[in-house]
Amino acid sequence: MVKVEVRLPTPLRSYTGGHASVSVQGATVGEILERVIEGNRGLERHLRNSEGRLRSYVTIYVNDEDIRGLNQEATELSEGDVISIVPAIAGGNTETSARTGSSTPSPVLNLLEAQEAPLTRDELRRYSRHLLLREVGVAGQKKLRASKVILIGAGGLGSPAALYLAAAGVGEIALVDFDRIEVSNLQRQILYGTSDVGRPKLAAAQERLTDLNPGVRVTPVEAHLTSENALEILQPYDVVVDGTDNFPTRYLVNDACVLLKKPNVYGSIYRFEGQASVFDAQRGPCYRCLYPEPPPPGLVPSCAEGGVLGVLPGVIGVIQAIETVKILLDAGDSLVGRLMLFDALSMRFRELKLRKNPDCVICGEHPTQTGLIDYPAFCGVVPVSSTESSATTTPEITPTELAARLGSEDAPFLLDVREPEEWEIAHLPGAHLIPNLQLPERVTELTGAREVVVYCKSGERSGRATRLLLELGFANVRNLRGGIDAWTDQVDPSLPRY
């Protein structure tokens, strides 16, 4: 039996008293995991499925080796080994929208001209620091000028990546987004300023990037990436940069890149941690090789739910920009086959090896998936068309109905399932806080409550908590429709919003 260090990601640290790592004794990976679970029972449902198997969206490493390339959980350990638990995380920018926009060409050369024409006097001055680099030079700068890159999401990750790619002189940069700029974006989305609040992101981004470098063509694509349009949208571009924060789009981008044989520059962020890699099925693994299946909806919080350090997407987005430029120049060693982990709190970078999965359904030796699929269904996301049926299975109460009840003798028990940091910003009077992930272990605190009303920020997390309580036998449970945001709109506008 040997002593090893087990490192846990931010989402699982609440089960270990906030500790980033724990020391455990055991002979194999399986024994170590069991001892970690025994001491922190809430971890089990995050690490193992109902059959006791390791969940497919959790990868376990011994030092920098994926145990799937070793002896799985039977992998024997040595004194001082480090076991890393690496779950899939979302992070970046939510890309969920509607219509395709048009581009306003900047004064740039077409592809043939960009490859053959000499650099102009202005370009020689602008890119002089590039030209002094042997790995770039005039030929490399002309390569960049002739290149086309598409970024999925113009938010936290897309902002720094787009700025540096434009500054580098990439010939065409397409941005896929649909959202409008909110004040809460400005903490991390450095493409925008206070005067841009309320404007479409693509319009503001196009202005900023064109001002930074008029020689770059900025193509806004105001579209929700779907199985129907993804191949057509991505096909013209040399490199795809993934800056989304939702799993359906992430798997869609991965699969489209595999089918189109294009490199996918991946980045994700959560709280103080980030990940980056390059998935290129022609040269190494794809995202599905790392995570064959997504986590259940709601298990991995988005940045909107869990928060993110504002400067963190700057670090990861810049890494994505660097990898993109290296791919376009065919210079250096890319992150293909490597997963870079960054922990801002400890200011530590780590690197883990990724292996191509021969059984991968999309890029393996005998792929069983040869086209794009229904990704919301694959990820268990309820489609908009199901909202009505979902409402019938999840009992709800409106903010005005709840407000009328709170002053009565039969006022319901108010359960807040947000995080403590959200509670500190604003909460309803008389509410009881039990964060969503802790609810299964603390459900006895609701014993004796005749009626329970559950709320979160928008009603999504509390809807899941309501269904869980109903499954556990609580008979009179309702979800606050629209969450505390709707309460602020309809009942108490003085309550702070975030």
The predicted pLDDT at position 103 comes to: 38
Q: Catalytic residue at 456?
A: yes
Amino acid 102: pLDDT: 40
**Tell me, what's the pLDDT at 92?**
58
Say whether 384-490 and 111-378 share the same fold: no
Instruction: Please identify which of the residues 257, 289, 303, 363 carries the catalytic annotation.
Output: 303
> The whole model's pTM is what?
0.80
Domain ranges of the chain: 2-87, 111-378, 384-490
Beta pairing partners, 148? 172
- Catalytic entry in 257, 286, 363, 456: 456
CATH H-level, domain 2-87: superfamily: Beta-grasp domain (3.10.20.30)
The yes-or-no answer on residue 257 being catalytic is: no
Q: Say how far apart CA 95 and CA 379 lie, in whole Å.
A: 15
The domain 111-378 is placed in CATH, from the list 3.40.50.1820, 3.20.20.150, 3.40.30.10, 3.40.50.720, at: 3.40.50.720
261: left (phi over 0), alpha (psi -120 to 50) or beta: left
Residue (of 385, 381, 287, 395) closest to 336 by Cα position:
287
Assigned CATH topology for domain 384-490: Oxidized Rhodanese; domain 1 (3.40.250)
pLDDT at residue number 363: 97
Reduce the DSSP state of residue 271 to 3 states and report it: strand
Taking the CA atoms of residue 439, residue 442, residue 444 and residue 447 in that order, the dihedral angle to the nearest 10 degrees is -60
* Rounded Cα distance, 184 and 374, in Å: 31
Q: For residues 492 and 487, give the distance between their C-alpha atoms in angstroms, rounded to a whole number.
A: 6
336 vs 281, 323, 351, 358, 413, CA distance in Å?
9, 10, 12, 16, 52
Nearest to 328 by CA among 236, 231, 263: 263
Is 98 in a helix, a strand, or coil? Answer: coil
Dist CA 421 CA 382 (whole Å) = 28
CB atoms within 10 A of CB 39: 12
For 66, the token pair is 């994926």
Looking at 62-200, list the stretches that DSSP marks H as alpha helix, in order from N- to C-terminal side.
111-116, 121-126, 128-131, 137-145, 158-168
**Amino acid letter, residue 177:** D
- Phi–psi pair at 276, nearest 5 degrees: -150, 145
> 3-state class of 119 per DSSP?
coil
Mean per-residue pLDDT pooled into runs of 10, the chain (498 residues): 91 82 94 90 85 90 92 94 89 46 45 76 96 95 97 97 98 96 95 97 97 97 94 98 93 98 96 96 96 80 79 98 98 96 95 95 96 92 49 84 90 95 94 93 91 95 93 94 96 93
CA distance 414 to 78: 50
Give the pairing of strands 217-221 and 239-242.
unpaired
